[in-house]
Structure 1
């Protein structure tokens, strides 16, 4: 487990009460108290974040995404960099798995439909060693969404491997700086029609550790707050 010196988060709204953008920003502000101001976002990074929040599955503003892709290319981005933004954002759709897999595992365990042993079988253990054992990023994921990886590997080792491999693609191609990708991810998690607090906290902590300053993080959140509503795709 990774030790954290982060300040305690503000109390979340009670179960059943809407999680608002103000709630997310209160958590962000708590983490930013001891963070230096840093530099503002450069125009290309702002454009990447604008593209990300519009291409997110929670928004799918296709015309807006096309406009920001063109702007990014005009500012000197390569097609590989733009595609890395899109790959990263597409991977954030795994929040469906994050929020449902543990519940399914608990139900299936009651019916003895999945292995409930604390010790993984040989094949699952090899997968765990390959993807999680020495990976601090996935250990931090386990901190924010406790039990998800354990449940997923027991329900479906194939889905576990596919999840790990797909989500790793934009980190392996390395066309963008890691801190830029963390700012993109936290912005997508803070859009009006997504508001995904576990992801916001994960990517916020990572961005701070990678050197993002208060100004850049707040700009990313401001961009996210202006993401248009999902109007459907024809």
Structure 2
């Protein structure tokens, strides 16, 4: 049964009450017009983290921004909506930019996954044994020390990477450490970035757990780090729930296209 215009208006008002007017972009609008029942079910799913609010509204928006701005997704309507909401909820420009900086580290997983596999292949082939077994030299030990100090942890998946290409490792250390050592106030006393360490780790969790990435090793590591910085299981679950909402973008991208083509008839078969 098709919903009446009055029923659709009620659903829109419910959306605004739950998620805010800024979140009602063209994807939601087209979905409401084409499939009110699915719109309602989608709204119910998206509203659960809002209702529980283990994370503040501001931090929910920043986690959503991390999911949508990740290189594996890049969902522009969501990025715009979540930046607007974060600003409305009191986020600073530095906090928003820091989410972008943290999320921009996703690409290093090519090395986190690829380098250990390369070493595994070299072992199986019995070649380049010296290169893959040699101990760290003084420079490499210093890089390991710097990474541990600036990033607050060390993991075995960095070992082969540092051993085989210390130059690129050093460049990545500088790149990834910036949000952890940036002096936001310029007073030399608060060189730790804009977001608290717990929130930084939750941002890493957000794009690692997203269905477009699913980087298990990194997700487990950053969950442990987040707990170590004081995160609760409920906060981490809320990050997972927010990342799950990525699947709604299937309808948000498709619905406007369907609405356009069915209205003009240009999608009909010849």
Residue ranges of structure 1 left out of the alignment (5+ in a row): 1-37, 143-147
Query: Which protein has greater RCO, CA pairs closer than 8 Å, 6+ apart?
Result: 1
Distance 1:176 1:126, change over 3 A: closer
Instruction: Tell me the distance in 1 between the aligned counterparts of 2:199 and 2:101.
Output: 14
1:164 maps onto 2:180 in alignment: no
Distance 1:213 1:112, change over 3 A: closer
Residues 1-234 of structure 1 mapped to structure 2, 5 A cutoff: 40-107=54-121, 110-112=126-128, 115-132=131-148, 137-139=152-154, 141-142=155-156, 148-173=157-182, 174-228=193-247
Distance 1:67 1:136, change over 3 A: closer
TM-score when scaled to structure 2?
0.62
Pairwise CA distance, 1:47: 0.4
Q: Is the 8 A contact 2:150 2:177 kept in 1?
A: no
Instruction: Tell me the distance in 2 between the aligned counterparts of 1:88 and 1:71.
Output: 19
Give the equivalent residue in structure 1 for 2:12.
Answer: none
Q: Is the 8 A contact 2:83 2:96 kept in 1?
A: yes
Distance 1:106 1:217, change over 3 A: closer
Pairwise CA distance, 1:214: 2.5
CA RMSD of aligned residues (A): 2.5
Q: Is the 8 A contact 1:114 1:154 kept in 2?
A: no
Pairwise CA distance, 1:56: 0.7
Return 101-110 or 69-78, whichever deviates more. 101-110
Residue ranges of structure 2 left out of the alignment (5+ in a row): 1-51, 183-192, 254-270
